[in-house]
């Protein structure tokens, strides 16, 4: 998301950009860790170390990769991505759903616009007493995404696809922003696009055929929500500490930016969960450790260090890890644009210079992509991305409109009437990759006469206090920033790039991730045409045109579709990389008998 994100891949992933071409094995199969043929050991405490927090401890609201990593342990979805040893793990499998709906099994209507899904029996909430997850819980969860206090950041993916969703969300925006007001609206207002046919059957009604809908249902936004979730404000710390679990673990405590403690959910039945093995008894997350310290502790066998949380091996250390063929290092594929430079088109600074496409084009010419990739590790593991869509996404077409040319940048700035710019650059100072990227761009832009000053941010504040708040952008707190984005699903997934990032006002934060507040009628029209295209071939052509238009307008500056590095301690077994988590799957690892954590 931002899944993750995938879905919004968090900028912590910038720190994971990989160092040497030698680390790669071709980009299709992760190196290093994978499945383990030894007999699994149950028990122990998995200790995860990091420098930042989840975005929200709320399944229907969380939209960044570290949030999804946490949710993997305690929240289940209708469909999810598996953790199969040696597999790509990019095809969805049934989780809470009994099976994948098709026309043959009666789950998909002939016109492709109605999906009927049966919920797996035995999946239960960790309430007292435990009770079965129901279709009504799914309906409630989808309704919660539209809440006006903190809506889900990927709403543009499905706002016009689910029958009646937009009207439901528009009405919800007028509801009192209180626990009672939100609860009353959710309980009394129907959402025609999501129907509980009976306790075990949920039906989705779409406005048009969407062959990617099962993939979309992997989004945590579609997670069920128990009635207890309405007793707290969405995305609040209070809710995060009281949200009942339907996964193998429950939240014992969450102290934002400090720690998270999970233990077994006694209501979870392994026979009802085909995805999570849940070998360890507890998971303890320490969010106060620096990136360098995490790596040191994982390598040196510190008893309370097993896996990374929101960080990755520092780029400067990857060469050494690869040189000694460290078996605990993994290099995995992504379908992302990570990092990319965000242009704040709403900034009042420099007499609103960034509202002018010619100024943004000039800056794009002045940035040297090769320099950024070099400080992040090289082209093989950071292949250049010069347009919107990574090559694995339908509609991707080669296009490099801004080759490095500082003289061209100066010319455009002069023509636009802005020969001397001073820009504020927001970045995460706890991330080596983010800091180095900022410094490199700062140096390169001076060659075009542009002065850049830094706006450092702690990891925990970067999105929730800066990028997700449009007023911060409109006040000119920042002009340029770094962000990252991963596909919300795979293959036919261009929608999950364009709708959340470039579709004008509907994609503005907090309901979208269009952090620079880009709004171009021609882009919006091309997106609408692509969504309505009658065939995938027609859609691909229109997505390519939308891609070209975004680049022509210099809405952002892409850098690379990077590989993802991950590292774990020696005592961790069955460490399987799952691209949607941007990490090993913590719900499926086990620990050596003699190193059970503490």
- End-of-domain residue from the set 198, 233, 268: 233
Question: Regarding predicted confidence, which is higher, 19 or 348?
Answer: 348
Please report, rounded to a whole number, the percentage of residues in the chain having pLDDT higher than 90.
Answer: 83
Mean pLDDT of the chain: 92
343 shares a domain with 289: no
Q: Are residues 159 and 300 in the same domain?
A: no
Distance CA 246, CA 223 (A): 10
Q: Is the peptide bond before 129 cis (omega within 30 degrees of 0)?
A: yes
Give residues with Cβ within 8 angstroms of 179, minimum separation 6: 230, 231, 232, 233
Asked if residue 130 and residue 218 are part of one domain, the reply reads yes
User: Are 387 and 510 members of one domain?
Assistant: yes
Q: What's the pLDDT tens digit per position in 28-86? A: 333 444 677 789 999 999 999 999 999 999 999 999 889 999 999 999 999 999 999 98
Average pLDDT over every residue of 263-269: 98
Instruction: Report the CATH number that the domain containing residue 403 is assigned in CATH.
Output: 3.10.105.10
Backbone phi and psi for residue 233, each to the nearest 5 degrees, phi listed first? -70, 140
On whether both 211 and 243 belong to a single domain, the answer is no
pLDDT tier, 13 (very low <50, low <70, confident <90, very high otherwise)? very low
pLDDT at 26: 32
| Structure-model confidence comparison of residues 23 and 307, the more confident one | 307
In order of 11, 314, 372, 379, 564, the CA distances from 20 in angstroms are 20, 12, 14, 8, 12
Q: Tell me, yes or no, whether 100 and 65 share the same domain.
A: no
The answer as to whether 1 is a domain residue is no
- pLDDT of the residue at 24: 29
* Residue range 146-204, pLDDT digits in tens: 999 999 988 999 999 999 999 999 999 999 999 999 999 999 999 999 999 999 999 99
Residue 250 contacts by C-beta under 8 Å, 6 or more apart in sequence?
A: 74, 126, 244, 262, 263, 264, 265
Q: Shortest CA distance to 409 belongs to which of 372, 374, 441, 453?
A: 441
Contact 551, 387 (CB under 8 A): yes
What does the pLDDT average to over 247-265?
A: 98
Q: What does the pLDDT look like over 332-385, one tens digit per residue? A: 988 899 999 999 999 999 999 999 999 999 999 999 999 999 988 788 779 999
8, pLDDT greater than 80: no
Buried b (16+ CB within 10 A) or exposed e, 451-479: ebeebebebbebbbebbbbeebbeebbbb
Domain extent, residue 397, equals 336-558
What is residue 3's predicted lDDT score, i.e. its pLDDT? 36
Query: Within a domain: residue 200?
Result: yes
| Weakest mean pLDDT among 29-33, 312-316, 412-416 | 29-33
Please report whether residue 250 resides in a domain. Answer: yes
**Whole-number pLDDT of residue 31:** 44
Based on the fold, state whether residues 47 and 182 are members of the same structural domain. Answer: no
The 10s digit of each residue's pLDDT in 505-557 is 999 998 899 999 999 999 999 999 999 888 889 999 999 999 999 999 999 99
How sure is the predictor about 316, in pLDDT bands with cuts at 50, 70 and 90? confident
In a domain, 177, yes or no: yes
Q: How many CA atoms lie within 13 A of 362 on its CB side?
A: 27
Q: What is the number of structural domains in the chain?
A: 3
Are 312 and 340 contained in the same domain?
Answer: no
Q: Is the pLDDT of residue 597 over 90?
A: no
Q: What is the pLDDT of residue 535?
A: 86
Query: Is 434 a domain residue?
Result: yes
Query: Quick check: is 84 in a domain?
Result: yes
> pLDDT tens, 387-412?
999 998 999 999 999 999 999 999 99
For residue 1, what pLDDT is reported? 57
Domain closes at, from 212, 233, 254: 233
Q: Model-level pTM? A: 0.84
Q: What is the 3-state secondary structure (H, E, C) of 185-248?
A: HHHHCCCCCEEEEECCEEEEEECCCCCCHHHHCCCHHHCCCCHHHHHCCCCCHHHHCCCCCCCC
What average pLDDT does the segment 98-108 reach? Answer: 97
**Do 137 and 105 fall within a single domain?**
yes
Domain final position from 233, 264, 280: 233
Sequence-separated (6 or more) residues with CB below 8 Å from residue 445: 363, 366, 367, 423, 451, 452
Note whether 267 and 124 are within 8 A (CB): yes
Q: Are residues 403 and 528 in the same domain?
A: yes
- Would 2 be classed as within a structural domain? no
Which CATH number goes with the domain that contains 171? 3.40.190.10
Same domain, yes or no: 42 and 24: yes
In a domain, 509, yes or no: yes
Q: 516 and 433 share a domain?
A: yes
């Amino acid at each position: 998301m931002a899944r993750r994100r995938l879905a919004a891949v968090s900028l912590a992933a910038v720190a994971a950009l990989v160092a040497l071409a030698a680390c790669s094995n071709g980009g299709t199969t992760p190196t290093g860790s994978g499945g383990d043929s030894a007999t699994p050991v149950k028990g122990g405490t998995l200790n995860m170390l990091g420098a930042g927090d989840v975005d929200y401890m709320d399944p229907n609201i969380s939209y960044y990769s570290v949030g999804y990593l946490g949710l993997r342990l305690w929240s289940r979805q209708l469909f999810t991505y598996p953790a199969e040893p040696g597999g790509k793990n990019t095809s969805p499998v049934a989780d809470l759903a009994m099976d994948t709906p098709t026309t043959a099994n009666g789950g998909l209507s002939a016109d492709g616009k109605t999906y009927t899904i049966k919920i797996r029996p035995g999946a239960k909430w960790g309430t007292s007493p435990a009770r079965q997850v129901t279709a009504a819980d799914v309906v409630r969860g989808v309704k919660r995404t539209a809440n006006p206090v903190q809506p889900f950041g990927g709403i543009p993916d499905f706002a016009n696809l689910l029958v009646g969703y937009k009207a439901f969300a528009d009405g919800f925006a007028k509801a009192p922003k209180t626990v009672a007001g939100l609860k009353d609206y959710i309980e009394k207002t129907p959402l025609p696009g999501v129907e509980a046919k009976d306790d075990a059957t949920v039906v989705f009604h779409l406005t048009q055929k969407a062959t990617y809908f099962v993939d979309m249902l992997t989004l945590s936004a579609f997670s069920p929500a128990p009635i207890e979730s309405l007793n707290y404000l969405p995305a609040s710390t209070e809710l995060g500490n009281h949200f009942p679990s339907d996964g193998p673990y429950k939240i014992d405590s969450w102290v934002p930016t400090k720690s998270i403690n999970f233990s077994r959910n006694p209501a979870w039945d392994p026979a009802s969960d085909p995805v999570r093995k849940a070998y360890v008894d507890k998971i303890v997350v320490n969010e106060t450790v620096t990136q360098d310290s995490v790596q040191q502790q994982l390598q040196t066998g510190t008893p309370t260090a097993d896996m990374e949380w929101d960080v990755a091996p520092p780029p400067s250390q990857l060469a050494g890890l690869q040189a000694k063929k460290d078996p605990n290092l993994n290099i995995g594929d992504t379908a992302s644009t990570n990092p990319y430079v965000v242009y704040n088109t709403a900034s009042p600074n420099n007499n609103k210079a960034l509202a002018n496409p010619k100024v943004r084009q000039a800056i794009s010419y002045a940035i040297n992509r090769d320099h950024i990739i070099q400080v992040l590790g090289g082209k093989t593991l950071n292949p250049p991305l010069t347009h919107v869509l990574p090559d694995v996404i339908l509609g991707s077409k080669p296009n490099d409109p801004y080759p490095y040319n500082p003289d061209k940048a100066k010319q455009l700035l002069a023509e636009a009437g802005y020969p001397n710019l001073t820009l504020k650059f927001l970045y995460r100072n706890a991330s080596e990759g983010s800091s180095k990227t900022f410094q490199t761009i700062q140096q390169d832009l001076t060659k075009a006469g542009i002065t850049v000053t830094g706006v450092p941010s702690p990891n925990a504040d970067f999105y929730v206090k800066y990028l997700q708040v449009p007023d911060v952008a409109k006040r000119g707190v920042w002009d340029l920033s770094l962000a990252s984005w991963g596909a919300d699903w795979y293959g036919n997934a261009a929608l999950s790039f364009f709708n959340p990032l470039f579709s004008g006002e509907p994609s503005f934060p907090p309901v979208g991730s269009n952090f620079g507040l880009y709004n171009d009628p021609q882009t919006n029209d091309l997106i609408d045409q692509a969504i309505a295209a009658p065939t995938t071939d027609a859609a691909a052509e229109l997505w390519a045109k939308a891609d070209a238009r975004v680049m022509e307008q210099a809405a952002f500056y892409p850098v690379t579709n990077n590989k993802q590095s991950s590292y774990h301690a020696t005592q961790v077994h069955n460490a399987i990389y799952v691209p949607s988590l941007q990490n090993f799957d913590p719900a499926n690892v086990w620990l050596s008998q003699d190193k059970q954590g503490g």
